[in-house]
Amino acid sequence: MHRMHAYRRWFPALVGGALLLVGGCAGEPGANGEGKQAAAQGSTLARVQARGTVNCAIHTGQLGMSYLDKRGRWQGLFADYCRALAAAVLGDARKVKFMPVASNKRFTIVQTGEADVLSRTTTWTLTRDTDLGINFVGTMYYDGQSFLVPKRTSVARAEDLDGASICITKGTTAERNTADYFARKGMRFHSVVFENPEEAKLAFFAGRCDAMTTDAFTLTVIRLADADNPDDYVVLPELLTKEPVGPVVRSDDEQWNEINKWVLNALFAAEEMGVTRENAARMRSDSRDPEIRKLLGGLPGFGKSLGLDDDWAFRAIQTTGNYGEMFARHIAPLGVGRGQNRLYRDGGLIYPLPMR
């Protein structure tokens, strides 16, 4: 737990700095006119390669997923995905332009072409997938909505919140999910809606709401990073919803969608195959499994259909390690177990597609 206290000392200040950097323009087209014009011009891969960076929109600050460390370097599961993508398409994991973006502007920055990929906790839903001109490339983390409540109350499960006031962030799936849950249960609640998550959590800790709701992982981070005493609060174990979250790209470039889909899948497949950051080079040359050797570029022709060379997945895996390594590095230290984010063979929902 001492590590969590260390996080809490520096995390809020760094996140505040990130929010200042974003300002009010995170979702607007860039001054160079790339924005809407770029969205209508040809291959995203060609633009990325000509520019020399992957423009990656991320959360403004969320421990475990995308946050600034003490050195001012972006860390986290979703930040590392962008590094894996840059390694695959540009040959250099450092060639990422991280773009912290507020929740209410995260889709705009992809739609306009200012960001090549949105890599932050964003739930895959039917209306988002069909109405916004975007594609979800896969599920990187399986979550579910829950509630954060003070321990001093008698609330032990969601059904105990009948008549409660709930802090909710505007424009998130939590708004509709909460209303649907209370309607199903025949319960009442008072919705206290805020423009952004920062306002919502400040209001909750100030006692303006009986509970706060969003995805369970986010609530875990808020409890650890923002509560004066994390032990005074609890995230209810019950999950109201399914919240599959993952990277997002524009829907008008199938090649770029496929590249992102298979970079993500390569990280899953590497864990299934036992390929790690440390042994990838050896397994590329020594493995007797043709599927492993194709994945790692040991057999030719695997990158052509994506418009990449044969070493794209090898570079991605050497950059971040496999999915299990990424989880152990960024999520496990927060006290969050693998749960449904285990591989399917271990009882989870992560099911790699065949890498052949």
- Segment 172-188, tens digit of pLDDT: 878 889 999 999 999 99
Angle in degrees, CA 69, 119, 21, rounded to 5: 50
- Segment 145-170, tens digit of pLDDT: 999 999 999 899 999 999 999 999 98
102-266-53-74 Cα dihedral, nearest 10 degrees:
50
How many other C-beta atoms are found inside a 10 Å radius of the C-beta of residue 90?
19
240-243: list long-range contacts, CB under 8 Å, 24+ apart. Answer: 240/144, 240/145, 240/146, 240/158, 240/177, 240/178, 240/181, 241/144, 241/145, 241/173, 241/177, 241/181, 242/142, 242/144, 243/123, 243/142, 243/143, 243/144, 243/145, 243/173, 243/215
User: How far, in Å, CA of 296 to CA of 283, rounded?
Assistant: 8
User: How far, in Å, CA of 190 to CA of 213, rounded?
Assistant: 12
Mean pLDDT of the chain: 88
- Is 262 or 8 the better-scoring residue by pLDDT? 262
The pLDDT score that the predictor gives to residue 42 is: 67
- Segment 95-107, tens digit of pLDDT: 999 999 988 899 9
Q: Supply 324's token pair.
A: 């299990």
Q: Is the pLDDT of residue 41 over 90?
A: no
Q: Is the pLDDT of residue 296 over 80?
A: yes
The pLDDT score that the predictor gives to residue 17 is: 40
pLDDT band at 73 (very low <50, low <70, confident <90, very high): very high
**Of 329, 271, 317, 313, which is closest to residue 77 (Cα–Cα)?**
329
User: How far, in Å, CA of 110 to CA of 250, rounded?
Assistant: 6
Confirm whether pTM is higher than 0.85. no
**Alpha-carbon distances, residue 255 vs 6, 113, 268 (angstroms):** 42, 15, 20
- Segment 327-345, tens digit of pLDDT: 999 999 998 989 999 999 9
Tell me the one-letter amino acid at 3. Answer: R
The pLDDT score that the predictor gives to residue 37 is: 39
The pLDDT score that the predictor gives to residue 195 is: 87
The pLDDT score that the predictor gives to residue 103 is: 84
The pLDDT score that the predictor gives to residue 1 is: 42
- Segment 304-316, tens digit of pLDDT: 999 999 999 999 9
- Is 151 or 20 the better-scoring residue by pLDDT? 151
Q: Where are the alpha helices (DSSP H) in the chain?
A: 2-22, 34-39, 44-51, 77-90, 106-111, 126-131, 173-185, 197-205, 216-226, 254-273, 280-286, 290-295, 312-320, 323-330
Strands 243-245 and 141-143: antiparallel
Please name each of the domains of the chain with its CATH number: 44-142+244-346 (3.40.190.10), 143-243 (3.40.190.10)
